[in-house]
């Protein structure tokens, strides 16, 4: 019989892996707050999502945070939007007149995108 997994410790471990590779500065508590849509700094989550997508597209060959630090929040959102749209993500919603949007206002949505 397998031992039950402690979710908080697992998320903390994932966060330590992110930090080891210089990706984001996020904690298990950030994820917990975001789950309840109560994260006070959603930009931190968007920054992590941007970094994960950027490094995925570059095969993690450039793990320097300078790329994300020189990118504005608006540019990060646009980059994420185009990536999600191109990949057919369900997070890209079509509203009236064929306008497509991604809800970056919900920290819960952003952590689901990170997942």
- The domain segmentation of the chain, as residue ranges, is 7-114
How far is Cα 15 from Cα 100, in angstroms, rounded to an integer? 31
pLDDT value, residue 64? 54
The answer to whether the beta carbons of residues 25 and 44 sit under 8 Å apart is yes
- Whole-structure pTM value: 0.81
Q: In the structure encoding, which two tokens stand for residue 96, read together? A: 């009236």
Model confidence at 78, in pLDDT bands (50, 70, 90)? Answer: very high
pLDDT mean over 74-101? 91
What percent of the chain clears pLDDT 90, i.e. is strictly above it?
A: 29
The answer to whether the beta carbons of residues 113 and 87 sit under 8 Å apart is no
List of E strands, the chain: 92-95, 99-102
pLDDT value, residue 67? 53
Model confidence at 66, in pLDDT bands (50, 70, 90)? Answer: low
pLDDT value, residue 58? 77
């Amino acid at each position: 019989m397998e031992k039950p997994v402690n979710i908080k410790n697992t998320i903390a471990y994932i966060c330590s892996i992110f930090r080891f590779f210089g990706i984001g500065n996020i904690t298990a508590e950030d994820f917990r707050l975001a789950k309840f849509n109560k994260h006070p700094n959603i930009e931190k989550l968007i920054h992590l999502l941007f970094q994960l997508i950027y490094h995925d597209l570059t095969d993690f060959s450039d793990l320097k945070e300078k790329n994300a630090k020189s990118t504005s929040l608006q540019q990060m959102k646009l980059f994420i939007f185009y990536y999600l749209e191109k990949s057919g993500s369900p997070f890209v919603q079509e509203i009236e007149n064929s306008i497509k949007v991604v809800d970056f206002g919900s920290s819960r949505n952003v952590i689901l995108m990170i997942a």
